[in-house]
Amino acid sequence: MSVPELKPLAAAPRVELKSLDTLWFQVGGTVCNLACTHCFISCSPTNHTHEFMTLAEVRRFLDEAAGLGVREYYFTGGEPFLNPQMEAILAVALEVGPANVLTNGLLLDPGRCARLKALEEAADYSLDLRVSLDGYDASSNDPIRGAGTFARILEGIRNLAAAGLNPVITVTEVCREAASDSGKERFFELLRAMGIHRPRLKILPVFQLGAEAARGGAYESWQRLREEDTPEDGWTHLQCSSCRMVTDQGVWVCPILVNEPSAKMGDTLADTLESFPLEHSACWTCHVYGVSCKT
Amino acid sequence: MSKLIVHRGLATWGEALVPLDRFRAAAAEAGVRLTPEEREAAVRSYTAAVPDPAPVEGPYRRIAVFGGVYNNHFGLAALLDDAARRGAEAVYCLGDLGGFGPNPEKVRPLLAQGGVRAIQGNYEESLAAGREDCNCGYTDPRDNHFAEISYRYTERNCSGGYKAWMGELPRRRRVRVGERELLLVHGSPRRINEFLFRSTSPVPFLEVLLDQHRCDGILATHTGLHWHRRLPSGRDAVNVGVIGRPANDGGTNVWYAMLEEGEDGLVVDLLPLAYDHQGLAAEMRREGLPEEFVETIETGWWTTCLEILPARERAASRF
C-alpha cells in the first residue's frame, strides 16, 4: 500500500508546450468492460481512479480549448462507450473540431454504428474511430484482452464497416510480430477478409506501467531521460509538446501518465501552458520508440 | 478474475494500489492553480502575435495563387495562360516545384516567363539544403517509399543553379488584395510541412492562427486538396490545392485559386484547370517514373500519399 516515491534525477529535461493542438479526454475514466493484462493504467470494471466525464465538464473544456485554437480532440478511457453521454459528447465535439475515439470495440452494435455514421455525416469535421486488437486470432489476442474478445472485437469492426466507417486498428507490440512488415501484412489480410478494402493500422509499443508492469516487467532505473538526451531540435517530437489530457480530476500532461498525480498540471487549460519535466520512465518510451498516441 | 475486483475502493498510482481517497487528495493538490487574472495573462501570452518581418506586396485587385507544381510543366503552362486570360495582376506560387512528375528543369523558365513570385515549400527547402528526403511529413512506409522515388528523381535532375535559386526563396509572403492582407505560406504559418486539410482545420483553430499571424487570410497548399473556409470573423482560410496532380476526385484537371477584391471583402474562386495530361503521362512513362504516378494523372485518383489523409478525405478516395 505504500505510495511509490518518485525520485527525479538531478536534471530531468523539460518539454515546452509548443502549441496546444491535441486535446485528449479521459471520458471513460479508468472504467472498462475489459481488464487487459497490458493496460498501462490498469483499467477494469472496478477501477474508479478516474470516473466518467459528464457532457457539461467536456463542454467547459471545449469552450476553453476553442480560445486556444486546439485543432483536434481525442476521446479515450477506460471504454468511452460505457459513458452513457458519449454520443452526445461526440456531437458537441464535432461542432468545434475533428474527433477521434479509442474503443475496445465491444460496444459497437449495428445501432450504435449507424448513429456514429449519422454523426460523421452531419459534421463538418472528421470523425475517426480506433479499435484495439492484440493478435491475429483468438489464441494470441484473448490471453491479453480476455476470453472470447477476439470474436467480439471482429464483430464490432464488421459492424463499423457495414455502417460505412473504416476504423484504424491499433495493435500493441505485445503482439511480437506486429511491427514487422510481414506482421502488418497479416493484419491487413485479416481485415481485407472482413470486407475492409482499405485497412488502416497503428502499432504502439507497450508502456511498462500499471497492469503491463506486472505482465511484462516494470521499468528499470536507467530508463529515464536526462538533460544530455535533449535532441538538437528539442523535444517537439514528443506529443506532450502539443497535447494535454483532461480527466474528471483536472488537466494532465499526456494520456499515458494519468495515474501519476505528479503529472497533473492544473485545473484549467490555462494552468497548463508551461513546460513539464520529462522525469517519468514512460517519457523514455515515447522518446526512444518515437511514440505518439495520436493516429 | 482477481484483477476485476482488486480495485474496489482502491486507485492505481503508477504501479501500486492506494486507497482511492489518497489518490484523489494527491491529484487535487497537484499542479498549479492560477488566479483568474493569471489565467487570462497566460492565455494572452500563448495567443500573442508572432512577429513577421515580411514586407507587404500590392495592393492588387486580383491575384492567382497556386501550389504543388510537382514538375508538371504542362500544368504550369496552362495555368499561366488561364491566369492571364482571367486578368490576374500577379501570380504567386506556394512551393513544391518538384516531385512526382518529369524533367524538373522545364519548370524553371516558365516561372521566369510568367513572372511568378514563389515561396519555399518543403521540396525547395530539402533540395537547397541537400537533405536526404523531401520532408513531406508522411508516416506510412508505402507513402515514404514512393515519396523517396519522387525526391531522388527530382534531386538527380535538378541543376545546382536551380537548387541554389530555390534556397533563396522566402518562406512566406504578405500580399494585399484590396483591403485584405493575406499571408502566403506552404504548409501553415507554423510549419512548412503542416497539413491543413479541410476536415481537420476547424474554425477556432484557424481564427487563433489568423490572430497570431495578424492577417485577414491565410493561403496554403501542401496537402494537394483545395478548400476554402470563410470564418465567422469574416476572414478567410484557403488551401489553393496543387497544379501537379489531380485532387483525388476522379477528374483529370488540377486546381488553383483566384483572389479578388469584392464589395464584401475577398472573393475566393477555386478554379479547375485542364491541361495536356496525356502529354504529361507520356513524358512520365518515357522518364521511367512509377506507373502508380502515371495512373493518378490519367484517372484523377491518388494511388500514393493516401495514409496521411484524414478519415473524411480518405473515405472520398478510390484507393
Contact B199 A47 (CB under 8 A): no
B2 pLDDT tier (thresholds 50, 70, 90): very low
Q: Residues of A with CB below 8 A from B200's CB? A: 71-72, 98, 125-126
List, for residues A177-233, the tens digit of each pLDDT value.
Answer: 877 888 888 899 999 998 888 888 888 888 898 888 888 889 998 999 999 899 998
- Any idea what the Cα angle at residue B93 is, between residues B247 and B291, rounded to 5°? 40
Contact B42 A126 (CB under 8 A): no
Mean pLDDT computed over B28-42 = 96
- What CATH number is attached to the domain comprising A129? 3.20.20.70
Residue A30 lies in a domain: yes
Residue A64 lies in a domain: yes
State the virtual CA torsion across A23, A29, A31, A34 in degrees, nearest 10: 10
Determine the pLDDT at residue B60.
Answer: 98
CA of B11: which chain A residue's CA is closest?
Answer: A49
List, for residues A83-134, the tens digit of each pLDDT value.
Answer: 999 999 999 999 999 999 999 999 999 999 999 999 999 999 999 999 999 9
Residue A260 has pLDDT above 60, yes or no: yes
Tally of structural domains, chain A: 1
Residue B273 has pLDDT above 60, yes or no: yes
Residue B79 has pLDDT above 80, yes or no: yes
Contact A273 B46 (CB under 8 A): yes
Most A CBs within 10 A among B2, B5, B7, B319, hence the mutation to make, goes to: B7
Q: Residues of B with CB below 8 A from A274's CB? A: 32, 42
For residues B319 and A70, which has the higher predicted lDDT (pLDDT)?
A: A70
Domain coverage including residue A146: 14-220
Residue A255 lies in a domain: no
> How far is the C-alpha of A273 from the C-alpha of A265, rounded, in Å?
9
**Minimal C-alpha gap between B309 and chain A (Å):** 10
| Joined grid coordinates for residue A249 | 480530476
Provide the ipTM. 0.92
Determine the pLDDT at residue A185.
Answer: 87
Contact A259 B14 (CB under 8 A): yes
Q: What are the structural domains, with CATH classification, of chain B?
A: 59-315 (3.60.21.10)
List, for residues B212-225, the tens digit of each pLDDT value.
Answer: 999 999 999 999 99
Short-list B27, B146, B225, CA closest to A250: B27
- In angstroms, how far is CA B146 from the centroid of its own chain? 19
Cα R_g (chain A), whole angstroms: 19
Short-list B173, B248, B246, B185, CA closest to B221: B185
A198 interfacial to chain B (CB closer than 8 Å) = yes
A289 interfacial to chain B (CB closer than 8 Å) = no
| B254 backbone dihedrals φ, ψ, rounded to 5° | -115, 180
Residue A288 lies in a domain: no
- Any idea what the Cα angle at residue A27 is, between residues A56 and A60, rounded to 5°? 30
Q: Residues of B with CB below 8 A from A218's CB? A: 15
- Cell 492571364: give the residue: B84
B245 pLDDT tier (thresholds 50, 70, 90): very high
For residues B140 and B131, which has the higher predicted lDDT (pLDDT)?
A: B131
Residue B300 has pLDDT above 70, yes or no: yes
Short-list A52, A108, A98, A143, CA closest to B310: A98
Task: State how far the alpha carbon of A269 is from the alpha carbons of A80, A262, B50, B72, in Å.
Answer: 22, 16, 21, 46
Residue A276 lies in a domain: no
Determine the pLDDT at residue B132.
Answer: 86
Residue A265 lies in a domain: no
CA of B319: which chain A residue's CA is closest?
Answer: A198
Residue A147 lies in a domain: yes
Q: Can you give the pTM of this predicted structure?
A: 0.93
Residue A3 has pLDDT above 80, yes or no: no
A69 → closest Cβ in B18, B33, B209:
B209
B81-86, Cβ contacts within 8 angstroms, sequence gap of 24 or more: B82/B271, B82/B273, B83/B114, B83/B256, B83/B258, B86/B62, B86/B258
For residues A294 and B195, which has the higher predicted lDDT (pLDDT)?
A: B195
Which residues have a Cβ under 8 Å from the Cβ of B3 and sit 6 or more positions away?
Answer: A35, A42, A44, A211
Determine the pLDDT at residue A10.
Answer: 62
Contact B34 A210 (CB under 8 A): no
List, for residues A15-57, the tens digit of each pLDDT value.
Answer: 999 999 999 999 999 999 999 999 999 999 999 999 999 999 9
- Bridge partners (DSSP) of residue A288 are none
List, for residues B105-130, the tens digit of each pLDDT value.
Answer: 999 999 999 999 999 999 999 999 99
B27 → closest Cβ in A6, A66, A264:
A264
With a pLDDT cut of 70, the percent of chain A lying above it is: 97
> How far is the C-alpha of A277 from the C-alpha of A260, rounded, in Å?
13
Mean pLDDT computed over B35-63 = 95
Determine the pLDDT at residue B1.
Answer: 38
Number of A to B CB contacts under 8 A, please give it.
Answer: 176
